[in-house]
Structure 1
Amino acid sequence: MAIIDNEMLWRQFGAAIDMLSEALSDCPDELWEKRLWEDQPDQWVAAGFSAFWYLSYHTLFWLDLYLTGAEEGFTPPAPFDLVEMEPGEALPRTYTREELLRYLEYCRRKCRETIGALSNEQAYRLCRFAWGELPFGELLLYNLRHVQEHGAQLRMFLGQKAGKSTSWVSQA
């Protein structure tokens, strides 16, 4: 028995993406490369992970990959690459706000289309990753939580460092 439908799920997922978009758009240039915290890189986190732009990129990369449901065959759109999946790697350069906002719009469309076309059978398809396995429907919820977590971190950073107040987006 389904407790939510595709449109309900999209409205909340879209709201989380919209809040991330607001953070990207509102970040002053002088904070774009600043770190939110002192990071300790490990095998899953590249050096500089906590820089505003990189945390934004990380969020979008995994949003995109998890919407695909598998690592095999996944390729992000240009100019992005698979560096997030390579242990000990660092990005070759700082991505611009415009590049990340374009990636965000790409992911937003992909998310809406993926959720809109989601069937019960697809929701129960098992997805396997290095960290574990779960049904695709649950992966979507995991993905939503990941986007919301990092979007909130970015927005809190802007509030603390730039005095930017942000609005709550209740639905997409």
Structure 2
Amino acid sequence: MIETIKQSLWNQLGASIDMLEDSILLCPNDEWDTDRKLWYQAFHVLFFTDYYLSLAPKTFTPPAPFTESEFEDRMPERTYTKTELIKYLSHCRAKAKTLIENLTEQTIEARWVNSSGSMDYAIHEILIYNIRHIQHHVAQLNLHLRQSINDAPEWVFRAEN
């Protein structure tokens, strides 16, 4: 049963990450840093994707050049490029795949608890929560793309691999 659950979790979390990547790549350069701050929306969802994939959330630190600005409820000090965010997305995809592949019947039930204790989930539930968070922001990005260029990426049914 655990293998079926792991495969389903990867199929859907991976698909959500793929959809985020498609939205970032489709965003025209002249729309990247407008008042809509599409770059920031992409960064925000990647930051929290990475965070929710951390088995030790209390000690989470994003990879360079990213900062913990999201925990401080402030904008980063500079605009991140598409290239930087696609690299961060690749980091998150690999982290998600490794985490899910290594789940066992015991670890899937382990607790994921943030520093304040306000979020306390089993690992399988934080993965589902992560999918919901990614899709929420993909929908926002795709709405902006529809409004600005009358285009948006296709739905991804399952992760490619």
Q: TM-score, normalised by structure 2?
A: 0.90
TM-superposed CA distance for 1:70, in Å, is 3.5
Could you report, residue by residue, the CA deviation over 1:48-77 in whole angstroms, capped at 9, with x for unpaired residues?
A: xxx211110010011101100333221111
1:1-40 equivalences under 5 Å are 4-36=4-36
Alignment partner of 1:120: what SS?
A: coil
For 1:95, the equivalent position in structure 2 comes to 80
Distance 1:3 1:149, change over 3 A: farther
**Cα contact 2:26–2:152 (8 A) shared by 1:** no
- Given residue 14 of structure 1, which amino acid in structure 2 is its aligned partner? G
The CA distance in 2 between the partners of 1:6 and 1:71, in whole Å, is 21
For 1:133, the equivalent position in structure 2 comes to 120
For 1:74, the equivalent position in structure 2 comes to 60
* Structure 1: tracts of 5 or more residues without a match: 37-50
Distance 1:119 1:168, change over 3 A: same
Q: Is 1:169 aligned to residue 130 of structure 2?
A: no
* Greater per-residue helix proportion: 2
* Structure 2: tracts of 5 or more residues without a match: none
1:78-157 equivalences under 5 Å are 78-87=64-73, 89-129=74-114, 130=116, 131-157=118-144
Alignment partner of 2:58: what SS?
A: coil
Moved over 6 A (4+): none
Could you report, residue by residue, the CA deviation over 1:86-127 in whole angstroms, capped at 9, with x for unpaired residues?
A: 14x331100000000000011001111111111121111122
**Cα contact 2:49–2:92 (8 A) shared by 1:** yes
The CA distance in 2 between the partners of 1:165 and 1:74, in whole Å, is 32
Could you report, residue by residue, the CA deviation over 1:126-170 in whole angstroms, capped at 9, with x for unpaired residues?
A: 222233211111111001110111011101210111111321111
The CA distance in 1 between the partners of 2:137 and 2:61, in whole Å, is 22
TM-superposed CA distance for 1:21, in Å, is 0.2
Report the aligned-residue RMSD. 1.7
- Given residue 157 of structure 1, which amino acid in structure 2 is its aligned partner? H
- Given residue 149 of structure 1, which amino acid in structure 2 is its aligned partner? H
Distance 1:35 1:4, change over 3 A: farther
Aligned length, in residue pairs: 157
Question: Taking every aligned residue pair, what percent have the same amino acid on both sides?
Answer: 38
